[in-house]
Structure 1
Amino acid sequence: MTTQTIDRFDYQRLPGADGVTINVAHRGEGAPVVLLHGFPQTHLMWRKVADELSHDHAVVVPDLRGYGESDKPEESAPDTYSKRTMAQDIVQVMAGLGHDRFAIVGHDRGALVAVRAGLDHPEAITHIGILDVLPTMDTWDVLHGVDAKVAWHLYLMAQPKGLPERMIQSVSDEFFASFLDAWDPAGTTFSPEFRQHYVESSSRSVPSIVADYRASAGIDLDMDRADRAAGRQLTMPVGVISQDWGSQLGFDPTRIWGAWAPDLTYEPIDAGHFMAEESPTPVADFIQRLLIR
């Protein structure tokens, strides 16, 4: 597979937590902002947004551990792929680039890492942007009945180590392509080149992707519950944009996110799940508005 890059961005491999090395693209000057990708993608999902933001900001775009060209350590403990560990990766990467304080914006899985970074490292995080996801604890709370079938993969990858990995590896290309196609029903968001990149990259990362999801049904959930019981909240400005899928599952995203983030703005967006690629200019505008709050 040919390695893809973001045009005009520099690349480095930088140390994260526990000896893991993170693949990082970066460009620009100004207030720093990290962009974290979701499933089943890599840092390249941000290529259009990152280019726009780099005119005014120092933009840093890593592959999360377990994804893309970053290291994929074996799941040797429950916290190998916890969002706490993955957030520590990002804090250490940013320190390596000379940034002790920075904004963090995440899509899907990356947004969960962003939230954990804000809870664990409030001294480092200036703003948090969230694209199309709910906090871990609340995700499990809102899934019920037949409507929960939209999140069937969460239940599959929550199972004990072994069977989910073997099942997915047996049809890995079809498995990952099914999400790219189902969440992009018009079939116009991805070029064949980038669609193939995401499928191939994810198929090379099955054990680590499953471990990431398994953590969200275990240790990540425990951490969220402990924070809720202790009354911990995100103290920095938080902005959320999402599709209107709350109406299908019967929840109010403003209420859910407001319980975690008192300084919250919420905006629905007329775009699909892969909004950073489908509608990069509105997403970049959302981030710019967030960063001046």
Structure 2
Amino acid sequence: MPPVIPGFGHHRIPVADGVSLHAAVGGSGAPVVLLHGFPQTHLMWRHVAVDLAADHTVICPDLRGYGASDKPAESDGSGYAKRTMAADIVALARALGHERFALAGHDRGALVAFRAALDHPGAVTHLACLDILPTLDMWDVMHGVTAAVGFHLYLLAQPPGLPERMISAAPDTFFGHFLDIWTTDRGAVPDEVRAAYLAACREAVPSIVADYRASAGVDIEHDRADREAGRRLRMPVAVLQQDWGAALGFDAAALWRAWAPDLRHTTVSHGHFMAEEAPDDIAKALRELLAR
């Protein structure tokens, strides 16, 4: 039996024409939506979700193109734009009865959460982003040999065909590579969860590539338009991330503060998969954000 989040029910919710998302939902109280990263599914929140469900309604979807959610074929380059994926999440929350909700995301899910908070400020009450920079800033700081840490960003940005074929030739090796190198605690992702992640990724190569490809194109356009228009995040924002600034030579807090006037930025010592490595710390940080 595949792993699940204990005590959570499972729902399949239509969010757009022909697209439904799978979501695990549990608890009761003010709603909190938790968005997963790469190469994971909603299961990455299994510990934090149970903690928050003691006094919140917690919604953990699989993003469009990931896990048990639908994986529509990309057609015009906008199907996996973060704007499209963010609209999915707002529609999902509304379908479950929540016009306003707190939103936390990790990795790819944090990019979706960032876009949702910019596009739908009336819906997102609080925002937490784990271990990312906004897309426009991310590309700006990648340079020289230090950018090798993000080699996959460049591979997955290539035109349709090549990256899909390369990854499909050895998907477990490709996706497993990141599960291995992005953690400081190998026990944080147990074998059964790792197997679930890899199985989900094997079924989602084209949509995962489309998600990343959008971040080298349309997502940059959307971020740049917002920056030029002076748009900012209106809600309280918490950012937790590794010290990428020290490695790549930038001030992460300053980059975030340009987007988020009400910001608490924290540098952590955990690995990239911090919600699995240090769930108590992440749950505590989210509770502190929700209290603001």
TM-score of Structure 1 vs Structure 2, range by shorter chain = over 0.9
Distance in 1, matches of 2:216 and 2:174, equals 20
Aligned partner of residue 105 in structure 1, secondary structure:
strand
Shift of 1:244: 1.2
TM-score (norm 2): 0.98
Distance in 2, matches of 1:243 and 1:192, equals 25
Shift of 1:186: 4.2
Q: Tell me, which stretches of 5 or more residues in structure 2 are unaligned?
A: none
Distance in 2, matches of 1:5 and 1:194, equals 9
Asked whether the equivalents of residues 65 and 71 of structure 2 are also in contact (C-alpha less than 8 Å), the reply is yes
Aligned partner of residue 258 in structure 2, secondary structure:
helix
Shift of 1:3: 3.8
Match of 1:23 in 2: 22
Match of 1:49 in 2: 48
Match of 1:267 in 2: 266
Confirm whether residue 198 of structure 1 aligns to residue 183 of structure 2. no
Aligned partner of residue 16 in structure 1, secondary structure:
strand
Q: Which moved more, 1:8-17 or 1:282-291?
A: 8-17
Shift of 1:18: 2.9
Match of 1:152 in 2: 151
Confirm whether residue 100 of structure 1 aligns to residue 99 of structure 2. yes
Shift of 1:240: 0.4
Match of 2:126 in 1: 127
Q: Any idea what the Cα deviations from partners look like across 1:272-292, whole Å, max 9, x if unmatched?
A: 000000000000000000001
Matching residue's letter, 1:9 = F
Asked whether the equivalents of residues 184 and 270 of structure 2 are also in contact (C-alpha less than 8 Å), the reply is no
Matching residue's letter, 1:243 = Q
Match of 2:70 in 1: 71
- After TM superposition, what 4+ stretches of structure 1 lie above 4 angstroms from structure 2? none
Confirm whether residue 285 of structure 1 aligns to residue 269 of structure 2. no
Q: Any idea what the Cα deviations from partners look like across 1:164-219, whole Å, max 9, x if unmatched?
A: 10011001110000000011254222111111111111111100000000000000
Q: Tell me, which stretches of 5 or more residues in structure 1 are unaligned?
A: none
* Identity of matched residues, %: 59
Distance in 2, matches of 1:253 and 1:42, equals 26
Aligned partner of residue 287 in structure 1, secondary structure:
helix
5 Å-filtered alignment, 1:105-116, equals: 105-116=104-115
Asked whether the equivalents of residues 87 and 113 of structure 1 are also in contact (C-alpha less than 8 Å), the reply is yes
Aligned partner of residue 128 in structure 1, secondary structure:
strand
Q: Any idea what the Cα deviations from partners look like across 1:21-75, whole Å, max 9, x if unmatched?
A: 0001111111110000000000000000000000011100000010000000001
Distance in 2, matches of 1:121 and 1:17, equals 16
Matching residue's letter, 1:159 = Q
Matching residue's letter, 2:54 = H
Asked whether the equivalents of residues 242 and 271 of structure 2 are also in contact (C-alpha less than 8 Å), the reply is yes
Aligned partner of residue 193 in structure 1, secondary structure:
helix
Distance in 1, matches of 2:185 and 2:59, equals 30
Asked whether the equivalents of residues 17 and 85 of structure 1 are also in contact (C-alpha less than 8 Å), the reply is no
5 Å-filtered alignment, 1:177-256, equals: 177-256=176-255
TM-score (norm 1): 0.98
Aligned partner of residue 55 in structure 1, secondary structure:
coil
Match of 2:169 in 1: 170
Distance in 2, matches of 1:71 and 1:136, equals 24
Shift of 1:10: 0.8
Asked whether the equivalents of residues 38 and 107 of structure 1 are also in contact (C-alpha less than 8 Å), the reply is yes
Equivalences, count: 292
Q: Any idea what the Cα deviations from partners look like across 1:93-134, whole Å, max 9, x if unmatched?
A: 000110000010000000000000011000101000010010
Match of 1:118 in 2: 117
Distance in 2, matches of 1:100 and 1:110, equals 20
Distance in 2, matches of 1:185 and 1:8, equals 28
Shift of 1:267: 1.0
Give RMSD over aligned pairs.
0.9
